[in-house]
Amino acid sequence: MIQTNQILETLRMIDQEKLDVRTITMGISLFNCVCDDTRRLASRVYSRIARQAENLVKVGREIEREIGVPIVNKRISVTPVSLITGAVDDPKPIALALDRAAKETGVDFIGGYSALVPKGMTAADRRLIASIPQALSETDLMCSSVNVASTRAGIDMDAVRLCGKAIKDLAERTKTRDGLGCAKLVVFSNAVEDNPFMAGAFHGPGEGDCAVSVGVSGPGVVKRALENVKGASFDVVAETIKRTAFRITRVGQLVAMEASQRLGVPFGIVDLSLAPTPAIGDSVAHILEEMGLEKCGTHGSTAALALLNDAVKKGGVMASSHVGGLSGAFIPVSEDIGMIEAAACGALTLDKLEAMTCVCSVGLDMIAVPGDTSAATIAAIIADEAAIGMVNNKTTAVRIIPAPGKTVGDYVEFGGLLGRAPVIPVHPFSSEDFIARGGRIPAPLHSLRN
């Protein structure tokens, strides 16, 4: 029998601490759409998604109403588009088909306009990467990603260079909206195939026909739990986070099982992530500050984040039958009120963020840099982050916005979950010759594990 105080505690988590499920994401394989005629391919892609996901939003809302926990987004991820466009000349009509299918099904985002190129690019991969700026600037709900590195294969520096250029071009094409297009493009190292979170979601080639996965959230709940153990040792802090993460993840598992059953689609994974939003009381940075840091980004932030990231996983893993995706704490700058404040007051710099990405879930996320940052500098930032992922056997990513016409101290405003961010400085010294070399950075010695 559930106790009254437990019921009231759950209500408090929902009302005051912003407990929510961030997303139900349906992964859909598009391999059965493959053909060598662009128009027919686009039409098959549209029909496949529209049919498979027709009830996704309805079921998501039903579950949300019945359990009383908000499910903020409903999303779709698809097979990386470069893998299904090998026999056609132009992938852009597929981008339009994805966007139309997303609108038809009523989801918030669709991800998978992607290429997986850690070791090299096929002609289709090159066409897709070249088309990203136009495709993202001409669609509304579509997200794109490129995996440029892996621990097994090393870093494809030609792809890194192309991504740097694509990001600059994309910012320019969406300059009236502060370079919003760049918020929909993620460049990965060690990308995972079952990530339900945007903008980097795609339905990997190792996945089945269809699966539903859930991404949980709940930084506010963790912060509140830590408020009750002020001054206690880190042993207590870690245990408190674990217990809280367990509860949050149980909600995710419940939602995932219900969605799977009602949609008649296999359950994929629960992604144990603390995903913040720009709302007050929903910040990962504030959890780190609750541990005793005056501002996120100051000395101690990396250690605090390492503890948080690990405790979230340890607490969550027992609460779900299948854990996957990115699973860890996210530290996007524009999407987290505490990160925004820390970056604005100078406590949080790009270099510190890079250090923090060694121990968190993903990487340099939603960071605004000056509009005159060169493509080579952006590519070099990507290379650094890819190297961290490659050497440490973890996923890292870069989602960076060279804000057109803006400089340090200005703000970019995206609104909604994407939030707002202060423009932070990059190093003024050139990486031009480094990026011009091209080729591959070899995989590290510890990639040879057989």
Partner 1 sequence: MAAASKAVVTVLGFDRKGIIARVSTVLFERGINILDISQTILDGYFNMVMMVDLSEPTCPFDELQSDLSALGKELGLQIRIQKNEIFEAMHQI
Least distance (Å) between residue 188 CB and partner 1: 32
**CB closer to partner 1, 2 vs 448:** 2
DSSP 182: G
263 neighbors 212 (Cβ within 8 angstroms): yes
Binding partner 1 (rule: CB under 8 A), the pick from 49, 251, 269, 312 is: 251
List of residues 6+ apart from 74 with CB closer than 8 A:
23, 24, 25, 26, 56, 57, 60, 106, 107, 108
Residue 2 within binding range of partner 1, rule CB under 8 A = yes
Residue 4 within binding range of partner 1, rule CB under 8 A = yes
Binding partner 1 (rule: CB under 8 A), the pick from 152, 175, 250, 295 is: 250
Residue 176 within binding range of partner 1, rule CB under 8 A = no
Least distance (Å) between residue 3 CB and partner 1: 8
Residue 228 within binding range of partner 1, rule CB under 8 A = no
Residue 6 within binding range of partner 1, rule CB under 8 A = yes
Residue 424 within binding range of partner 1, rule CB under 8 A = no
Q: Which stretch in 27-35, 136-144, 252-260, 298-306 sits in contact with partner 1 by CB under 8 A?
A: 252-260
Cβ atoms within 10 Å of 34's Cβ, excluding its own = 16
Q: Transcribe 258-316 into DSSP letters.
A: HHHHHHT--EEEEE-EE---SSTT--HHHHHHHTT-SSTTSTTHHHHHHHHHHHHHHHH
DSSP 382: H
12 neighbors 207 (Cβ within 8 angstroms): no
| Footprint (CB under 8 A) of partner 1, residues 65-84 | 65-69
Q: Which candidate, 145, 204, 202, 200, places its Cα nearest to that of 170?
A: 145
Q: Which stretch in 63-71, 139-147, 172-180, 223-231 sits in contact with partner 1 by CB under 8 A?
A: 63-71
Q: Which candidate, 5, 100, 90, places its Cα nearest to that of 45?
A: 100
Q: Which stretch in 3-11, 125-133, 145-153, 421-429 sits in contact with partner 1 by CB under 8 A?
A: 3-11
Residue 264 within binding range of partner 1, rule CB under 8 A = no
How many amino acids of this chain bind partner 1 (CB under 8 A)? 19
**Before 199, cis peptide (omega within 30)?**
yes
Question: Under the phi-then-psi rule, with left for phi > 0, alpha for psi from -120 to 50, and beta for the rest, what region is 305?
Answer: alpha
**CB closer to partner 1, 42 vs 245:** 245
Residue 321 within binding range of partner 1, rule CB under 8 A = no
Residue 323 within binding range of partner 1, rule CB under 8 A = no
The mark string for 98-117 relative to partner 1 (x by CB under 8 A, - otherwise) is --------------------
Binding partner 1 (rule: CB under 8 A), the pick from 105, 145, 253, 377 is: 253
The structure tokens listed for 80 are 């990386």
**CB closer to partner 1, 218 vs 404:** 218
Residue 258 within binding range of partner 1, rule CB under 8 A = yes
List of residues 6+ apart from 151 with CB closer than 8 A:
190, 389, 390, 391, 393, 443, 444, 446, 447
- Residues near partner 1, by CB under 8 A: 2-4, 6-8, 10-11, 65-69, 247, 250-251, 253-254, 258
